[in-house]
């Protein structure tokens, strides 16, 4: 193209003016082509400066090829940029979804980025507080001295920003320096809500202390009796008395271990299935028999007997574990018997409620329970009347068992009580958990 234009201009000049004309023609052609080239170069340059990659200014010639190549390089870079942006936002989204708090700090300790969990933990605003110094925002003294120090090998525990006296929040916080160049001083601040873990640890410690205490008391008494029997010359009647007392203490330990095992089974086993049905008559027989025997053993012959009104219930069956249901119902009826003085009245009834639920209620004319104790009665080892509980063979675990069984059977435990009048414990069973006992089972062919 370049040579052809020069040839045509040279031939045209030679034809018009001979040799000088040919030279002029070639120079003019050179100038025109150079101007055209400069113009095209300027357009390509403007296109590159503009950065608009939607169109290519030239498709042909040298500038066309240059533009095409530049276009391809730019598209590739743009694609790489988009991919990295996508990776970065995926990465940030993943950190956002983390249950732990993550804060990226620059060399001066200013927040570069933090996820929502960290914002909640430290009471900061993920957007507004960017570039703010973390030391100015988290003022806890333990954190401040940890942050100023250089030893980040261990985590520290500080109260969370939303902590209050009634709702403590504990955070585990650790700093990890992470920049490629350590002198940059970039740090990753990780936070973890350990409130539940700490509470579980406190509960575990309390539980072990309680169990040890409950076992140690009868064990000490037993050891004392054994020593007495070994060292003192006792008459046969005295020996029998001591052995009876030893038997009582060992029964107490047995009951405690049995209740502990029941609780751990309730916590560790799968929910009772709807395939097992226990007739209410069978439940009634179990708890009524136990309650009568207990009442006779507790009331002295000289005292007026307790009045036990134990309703046999409707001709229905309940879904769930029969053994668990017997344990819960017996605990409620036995408690009424144990806490009601001689001559008092205990009633256990089954009532069909208007909404279809079946209610089992146990009311007594015992001492009643003060309102402040009622919400805590189902806690393990919580007792209002410690000595009455021990005297009557209580373990402090009965109502904890009742609560677990109720939860596992979709039932609700309610406690109402008036001091000096008596108490009423109720369990409500959903309609879906009852069926007529006499109805034949549907067996599919
Ligand atoms: P315990 O083995 O000590 O009876 P429970 O868990 O069964 O343990 O009951 C917890 C506490 O609730 C008892 O120690 C007792 O103080 C109180 N309580 C339970 N039932 C009654 C009731 N019917 N009348 C009065 N107090 C009761």
Q: Using an 8 Å Cβ cutoff, are 362 and 424 in contact? A: yes
Secondary structure E strands in 85-145: 101-105, 111-114
Only one residue has tokens 């200014």, namely 57
Alpha carbon distances (Å) from 324 to 347, 380, 393:
21, 17, 20
3-class DSSP assignment, residue 278 = strand
Q: Which stretches of the chain drop beneath a pLDDT of 50?
A: 439, 445
Q: Is the CB of 339 under 6 A from ligand 1?
A: yes
Secondary structure E strands in 151-221: 156-159, 170-177, 187-193
- The CATH number given to 270-440 is 3.30.565.10
Q: Is the CB of 369 under 6 A from ligand 1?
A: yes
Task: Give the HSE-up count for residue 405: Cα atoms under 13 Å, Cβ half-sphere.
Answer: 27
Q: Can you give the pLDDT at residue 445?
A: 47
Please give the distance, rounded to the nearest whole angstrom, from the Cα atom of residue 406 to the centre of ligand 1. Answer: 17
Q: Can you give the pLDDT at residue 279?
A: 95
**Per-residue pLDDT tens for 386-434?**
888 888 889 999 999 999 999 999 999 999 999 999 999 999 999 999 9
Q: Is the CB of 398 under 6 A from ligand 1?
A: yes
From CA 40, how far away is CA 257, in angstroms rounded? 96
From CA 175, how far away is CA 340, in angstroms rounded? 60
Q: Can you give the pLDDT at residue 183?
A: 64
Q: Can you give the pLDDT at residue 180?
A: 67
- The CATH number given to 98-193 is 3.30.450.20
Q: Is the CB of 389 under 6 A from ligand 1?
A: yes
Residue 363, beta-bridge partner list: 347, 424
Q: Can you give the pLDDT at residue 262?
A: 95
Task: Tell me the three-class secondary structure of 198-211, residue by residue.
Answer: HHHHHHHHHHHHHH
Q: Is the CB of 396 under 6 A from ligand 1?
A: yes
Burial of 212 (0-12, 13-18, 19+ CB in 10 A): exposed
Q: Can you give the pLDDT at residue 47?
A: 85
Q: Is the CB of 313 under 6 A from ligand 1?
A: no
The CATH architecture annotation of domain 197-269 reads Orthogonal Bundle (1.10)
The ranges assigned to domains in the chain are 2-93, 98-193, 197-269, 270-440
Q: Using an 8 Å Cβ cutoff, are 132 and 147 in contact? A: no
Q: Which residues contact 3 (CB under 8 A, 6 or more apart)?
A: none
From CA 162, how far away is CA 171, in angstroms rounded? 11
First and final C-alpha spacing in the chain:
93
The residue whose CA has the least distance to atom 14 of ligand 1 is 383
């Amino acid at each position: 193209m370049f040579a052809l234009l020069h040839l045509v201009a040279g031939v045209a000049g030679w034809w018009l003016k001979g040799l000088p004309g040919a030279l002029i023609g070639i120079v003019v052609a050179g100038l025109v082509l150079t101007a055209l080239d400069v113009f095209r170069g300027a357009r390509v340059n403007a296109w590159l400066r503009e950065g608009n990659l939607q169109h290519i200014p030239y498709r042909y010639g040298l500038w066309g090829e240059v533009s095409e190549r530049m276009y391809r390089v730019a598209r590739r870079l743009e694609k790489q940029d988009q991919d990295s942006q996508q990776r970065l936002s995926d990465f940030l989204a993943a950190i956002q979804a983390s249950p732990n708090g993550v804060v990226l700090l620059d060399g001066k300790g200013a927040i570069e980025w933090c996820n929502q969990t960290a914002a909640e933990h430290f009471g900061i605003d993920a957007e507004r507080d960017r570039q703010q110094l973390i030391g100015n925002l988290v003022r806890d003294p333990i954190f401040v001295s940890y942050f100023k120090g250089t030893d980040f090998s261990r985590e520290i525990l500080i109260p969370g920003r939303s902590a209050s006296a009634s709702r403590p929040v504990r955070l585990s916080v650790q700093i990890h320096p992470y920049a490629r160049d350590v002198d940059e001083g970039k740090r990753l601040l990780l936070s973890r809500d350990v409130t539940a873990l700490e509470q579980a640890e406190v509960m575990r410690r309390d539980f072990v202390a309680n169990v040890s205490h409950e076992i140690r008391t009868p064990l000490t008494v037993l050891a004392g009796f054994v020593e007495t029997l070994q060292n003192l010359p006792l008459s046969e009647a005295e020996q029998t008395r001591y052995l009876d007392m030893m038997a009582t203490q060992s029964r107490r330990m047995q009951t405690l271990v049995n209740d502990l095992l029941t609780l751990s089974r309730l916590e560790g086993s799968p929910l009772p299935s709807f395939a097992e049905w226990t007739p209410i008559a069978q439940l009634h027989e179990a708890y009524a028999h136990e309650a009568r025997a207990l009442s006779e053993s507790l009331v002295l012959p000289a005292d007026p007997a307790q009045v036990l009104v134990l309703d046999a219930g409707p001709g229905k069956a309940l879904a769930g574990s029969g053994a668990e249901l017997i344990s819960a119902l017996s605990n409620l009826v036995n408690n009424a018997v144990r806490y009601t003085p001689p001559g008092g009245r205990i009633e256990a009834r089954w009532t069909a409620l208007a909404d279809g639920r079946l209610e089992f209620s146990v009311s007594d004319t015992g001492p009643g329970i003060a309102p402040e104790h009622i919400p805590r009665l189902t806690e393990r080892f919580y007792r209002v009347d410690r000595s009455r509980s021990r005297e009557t063979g209580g373990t402090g675990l009965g109502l904890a068992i009742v609560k677990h069984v109720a939860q596992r059977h979709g039932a609700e435990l309610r406690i109402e009580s008036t001091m000096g009048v008596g108490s009423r414990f109720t369990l409500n069973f959903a309609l879906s958990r009852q069926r007529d006992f006499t109805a034949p089972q549907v067996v599919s062919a």
